[in-house]
Structure 1
Amino acid sequence: MKQLAFIIGLLAMGIAHSFGQPKAKLPVVVDAAGKGQFKTIQAAINSLPDSATADRVILIKNGTYNEKLFITKNHIVLKGESEKGVVITQDIARDIWRCQGNADDWGVATMNLRGSDITLQNLSVINGYGFHHKADTIVSCQVGSEPATQKAVKNTGHQMALRSFQTTRLKVLNCTFRALGGDTVSPWNAASGLFYFKDCTMEGGVDFYCPRGWAYAEGCTFICHSKEAAIWHDGSGNPDQKTVLVNCTFKGDEGFKLGRYHRESQFYLINCSFAATMANAPVFQAASSTGVKWGERVYYYNCHRTGGDFAWFANNLNKAKTAPVASQINAQWALDQQWNPMLN
């Protein structure tokens, strides 16, 4: 019996490789207070091999991490101890970043992604620029070989908490993303982006949730600090690309508009709730848009506004391609069966 108990104990600890089972890989622990393997999240990411076929888990203890993160590796899981307890924050204005001579957006966000198969869970990711800069900032702006000029950077300009590039199969659970300016959450991959958000809070200015590709958000809260538009979509990579929002809540400043688009897009809003402060303004094509060939594609089902509904978000799923019913609209449907985030 003692020998059997010993063997069971080895199996429980994940070290019974001599019995034909590989040793379990323990998560990497980050603790800003120094009680983990690393004090910074970026150091933990850098410690992992460049390639992998299975997820590598980084556990992040509660604390404030003043870091700008870069993730170029695949199969990374950043799992916080608690959503409000783990705060990753930087102050970055996209206009200043570009004026400093940076050719693209790599580094413009608090969290910058190029890897795929990434999971974020129980985190707060903040771009605090607009919250901390109350007045315009005057900067010397150098763009290419042109002579430098002075530029006034407003605290409501582009401020990204998350910006992705080639990333696909991004899963985000119980996370908060905050900025005062636009484009707070920018998962961008117009060719093959697959993005899943569940039970998240997103806050920002114009177009502060702006996926490119296929996106599904469920149970999320959107807080808008702009009278222009809260959500945006780019579905120009494929006629079936769409942004789907289910059981989501929208609130914000008096007169905020729900959404807009510049390029080909497709919106589905199912069982969503709108605050009384939302303007009587349908999702619209922006004046600066160069046109769309697939037409306006904005669909609603069972959405309601505090203080009374507007006619423009009446049920119209029957006008969408294949005329789907609300009960069949889930993550796999939204992502065109290309990925089931429930299996990861």
Structure 2
Amino acid sequence: MLRSLFLLLCFAMPLYAKDVIRLSVALEGPADFRSIQAALNSLPDNNQQAIISIAPGLYQEKLYLSRNKVALIGSGRDQTIIMIAELRQNWLKHHPNDWGSAVVNIRASDIALLSLTVHNSYGELTGDNEHQFAIRGFETATRIITDDCAVIAGGADTLSLWNKDDGMYYHRNCYFEGHTDMVCPRGWAFFTDSTFMNKKAYATLWHDGERAESQKMVVRNSHFDGVPGFMLGRRHYDAQFYLIDNTYSRNMADTPIFRHTYPTEPERNQANLWGDRYYFSHQDSNNSIYPWLASNLAKHPQALSAEHITAQWTFAGRWDPEAELAQLYLLLEQK
């Protein structure tokens, strides 16, 4: 009993750290700042956890996160909306790289986005559905959390977290909307209790796991929908998909997750070291709407069960985002 109490206290101690930085943003009324970026720019260059609370409103600004340990906390995904119209191709005409091509640009780690919407509206305004990022994570960004968020773009690559080497991402209770490869992580990614809405009759999910055989993309307890003929997923690189206890709209095409290759330009084909690794499990057999969706975890080399496929398993104990998120919510209660 005493040992259990000691462990509980040890877990709770960081939650009461007095050096947490708390800032507020509102378009009007009492607040520390009128823009989110101004609040970000004010943060000291140290290792303190920063919490930025954002009042309801439409914030028409790009965000640049280059400082670790920042949590942006909205007032609800229908209340706090961060929106800009930006096409990647247009941005690159005048800039040397992608830094700034998204609505939210991340070059930092231990970043959390909670209870807000990030929306790149370029496609809706122009009808151009090419690459337009809502959230773009760069090569050094890892341990990124989204919870109770909507992430929307009018084109391809809505949520692009692209740390190939050690990128780790956790997403819970979110809504994702976009076009081709609308959710396209590199590294390790875990999604749960979310909705994926694909506006184009092509691939929804994309994964790059070429740097390590253990890199994977897991989606649990979520729903896939979209326009008639939308596809579940594809890959260019070595990749690993786990789809566990999800539901699928009848609009989804009878097209298995596939490897994209270039028959007339074979030099463009990426390595295929580990072959096709697409795993499915369903408690309700009615969710296996096509033969290729049938439960096949028993054929996994480790003979996994659905209970094995957790966030901690996904990240092999290197990161516990659920404990981190619980701590963050406790901090929010200590206002």
Q: What TM-score do you get using the length of structure 2 for normalisation? A: 0.87
Deviation at 1:112, TM superposition (A): 0.2
Q: Which amino acid aligns with 2:73?
A: K
Deviations 1:286-312 (A, max 9, x none): 134434111010000007798971000
Alignment match, 1:260: 234
Alignment match, 2:102: 109
Alignment match, 2:54: 60
In 2, Cα distance between equivalents of 1:266 and 1:342: 22
* Matching residue within 21, 31, 38 for 1:36: 31
Deviation at 1:320, TM superposition (A): 2.4
Alignment match, 1:87: 81
User: Which of these two proteins has the greater Rg computed from alpha carbons?
Assistant: 1
| Structure-to-structure mapping, 1:1-344, within 5 angstroms | 23=18, 25=20, 27-52=22-47, 54-100=48-94, 102-134=95-127, 155-165=128-138, 166-288=140-262, 289-302=269-282, 309-344=289-324
Q: Which amino acid aligns with 1:114?
A: R
Q: Which amino acid aligns with 1:338?
A: R
Deviations 1:127-171 (A, max 9, x none): 00001113xxxxxxxxxxxxxxxxxxxx11001000001111111
Distance 1:36 1:283, change over 3 A: same
In 2, Cα distance between equivalents of 1:203 and 1:34: 32
Deviation at 1:237, TM superposition (A): 1.4
Q: Which amino acid aligns with 2:224?
A: F
> What secondary structure, in the 3-state scheme, does the structure 2 residue paired with 1:82 have?
coil
Deviation at 1:272, TM superposition (A): 0.6
Q: Which amino acid aligns with 2:126?
A: H
Q: What TM-score do you get using the length of structure 1 for normalisation? A: 0.84
Q: Which amino acid aligns with 1:164?
A: G
% same residue: 37
Alignment match, 2:10: none
Deviations 1:181-211 (A, max 9, x none): 1000001101000100000000000000000
Deviation at 1:328, TM superposition (A): 1.7
> What secondary structure, in the 3-state scheme, does the structure 2 residue paired with 1:59 have?
strand
Distance 1:106 1:321, change over 3 A: farther
Whether contact under 8 Å (1:219, 1:246) holds in the other structure is yes
In 2, Cα distance between equivalents of 1:307 and 1:247: 11
Distance 1:70 1:213, change over 3 A: same
In 1, Cα distance between equivalents of 2:154 and 2:303: 37
In 1, Cα distance between equivalents of 2:323 and 2:49: 12
In 2, Cα distance between equivalents of 1:236 and 1:286: 14
Comparing 328-337 with 240-249, which one deviates more in the overlay? 328-337
Distance 1:304 1:312, change over 3 A: farther
Whether contact under 8 Å (2:246, 2:287) holds in the other structure is no
Deviation at 1:243, TM superposition (A): 0.2
Distance 1:255 1:304, change over 3 A: farther
> What secondary structure, in the 3-state scheme, does the structure 2 residue paired with 1:49 have?
coil
> What secondary structure, in the 3-state scheme, does the structure 1 residue paired with 2:197 have?
strand
